[in-house]
Chain A
Amino acid sequence: MAGRGKLIAVIGDEDTCTGFLLGGIGELNKNRKPNFLVVEKDTNGETGPDSVLKMSNLKIKLSSNSLTEYIKYTYKDWARIRLKNVLDQIPFRNHLL
């Protein structure tokens, strides 16, 4: 990992995650934690994004507009993550929330 660039993470619906993974951003680290999160109806907004937002080797995270708003008000460490990482927004296909 030393000397390697940072990665891109994605939080979104299945199609969005599949598309960006086709682009080659997907990674399963040594603990088999992915750098993406497929949001479904039963995804927990408080702890679900933990696996993605707390990874240290991520530079940019992509999340849809409505998801970002949802995570903002439910995710417990939002303020700290918001300051630490770049969270960019992408369109959201399925309105699950």
Chain B
Amino acid sequence: MGVSEVEESSLQLDEKLMRFMDQLELLEEKRATLNSLIEQGWFSMSKARYSMGNKQVSVLQYASEMKPLVCVNARMQDNGEVQFCTEQQTEKSSKESAKDLRPAEDIGPQEEGVRRRNKPKKTEKDPSEDASSKKAPEVSPVRKSEHNPQQDPLKWFGILVPQSLKQAQSSFKQGMALQVQANLCFTWVCLENTLVKLVWGCFWI
């Protein structure tokens, strides 16, 4: 190996080492931010537990039905790296939700035999249909008052929750978004691989 090749390899190694140190510093900064966000969340949750009671913010309050509000999507970038991103889960489609839409008057047992006084002209129908079709056309349909598994998890702990619990939720949401978007684990694995290559590169020189 000529001197110029050794110098060129050394320069490349130096460049990679500098890039490695920059990425490591960036990773440590993001990890410190994540840790502080989570600690902030713990502190807010402790304040909420102090005001609401010990058992009011615990595993006992978890809902019996849960649907995730956040999911993770992985995308392959042009440089070959995998990029994670969070995505908000939307509720069920309008078609499905339309099945759940019933007019407010129709909730509860149907009363057969009750007819509207001012019925519009219509063709012959069964009496049972008349009972079920007594809704007014201008009534805005409402959803069934059932437990929605995709509701805000804050509602597990009551209708009126203290501000500290909302702050805890906000802190954990930010921490989660940061962790996913920064690809902390993937970045760490890539840095480890880069370090191994650098060490081997130095060895061969």
| Chain A interfacial positions (CB closer than 8 Å to B) | 4-8, 14-28, 34-35, 38, 59-60, 62, 86-91, 93
Contacts of A62 in B (CB 8 A): 179
- Nearest Cβ in chain A — how far from B91, in angstroms? 12
Contact of B191 with A by CB under 8 A: no
Contact of B21 with A by CB under 8 A: no
User: With A24-B153, A26-B66 in contact, do A18 and B57 touch (Cβ < 8 Å)?
Assistant: yes
Q: In the complex, what distance in Å separates the CA atom of A6 from the CA atom of B75? A: 12
Using an 8 Å CB-CB cutoff, how does the interface string of B37-80 with A read, 1 for contact, 0 for none?
Answer: 01101100110000000000111001111111111111000000
Q: In the complex, what distance in Å separates the CA atom of A64 from the CA atom of B165? A: 22
- Nearest Cβ in chain A — how far from B151, in angstroms? 10
Contact between chains at A34 and B71 (CB < 8 Å): no
Contact between chains at B68 and A27 (CB < 8 Å): yes
Q: In the complex, what distance in Å separates the CA atom of A91 from the CA atom of B171? A: 14
Contacts of B72 in A (CB 8 A): 5-8, 59-60
Which of B46, B165, B176, B184 has the largest number of chain A CB atoms within 10 A? B176
- Nearest Cβ in chain A — how far from B40, in angstroms? 10
Contact between chains at A88 and B184 (CB < 8 Å): yes
Contact between chains at B68 and A22 (CB < 8 Å): no
| Chain B interfacial positions (CB closer than 8 Å to A) | 34-35, 38-39, 41-42, 45-46, 57-59, 62-74, 84, 87, 89, 152-154, 165, 168-169, 171-173, 175-176, 179-180, 184-186
Q: Find the B residue at minimum CB distance from A29.
A: B66
Q: In the complex, what distance in Å separates the CA atom of A19 from the CA atom of B168? A: 7
- Nearest Cβ in chain A — how far from B33, in angstroms? 12
Contact between chains at B41 and A28 (CB < 8 Å): no
Contact between chains at A6 and B71 (CB < 8 Å): yes
Contact between chains at B65 and A28 (CB < 8 Å): yes
Contact between chains at A60 and B84 (CB < 8 Å): yes
Q: In the complex, what distance in Å separates the CA atom of A54 from the CA atom of B50? A: 36
Q: In the complex, what distance in Å separates the CA atom of A26 from the CA atom of B39? A: 20
Contact between chains at A15 and B185 (CB < 8 Å): no
- Nearest Cβ in chain B — how far from A13, in angstroms? 10
Of the candidates B57, B73, B172, the one whose C-beta lies within 8 Å of that of A5 is: B73
Contact between chains at B38 and A60 (CB < 8 Å): no
Contacts of B70 in A (CB 8 A): 8, 23-25
Contacts of A25 in B (CB 8 A): 68-70, 176
Q: In the complex, what distance in Å separates the CA atom of A16 from the CA atom of B152? A: 18
Q: In the complex, what distance in Å separates the CA atom of A93 from the CA atom of B78? A: 39
Q: In the complex, what distance in Å separates the CA atom of A38 from the CA atom of B60? A: 12
Contact between chains at A24 and B68 (CB < 8 Å): yes
Extra A-B contacts (6), CB below 8 Å, given A19-B42, A24-B70: A6-B74, A8-B71, A23-B175, A25-B69, A28-B65, A91-B35
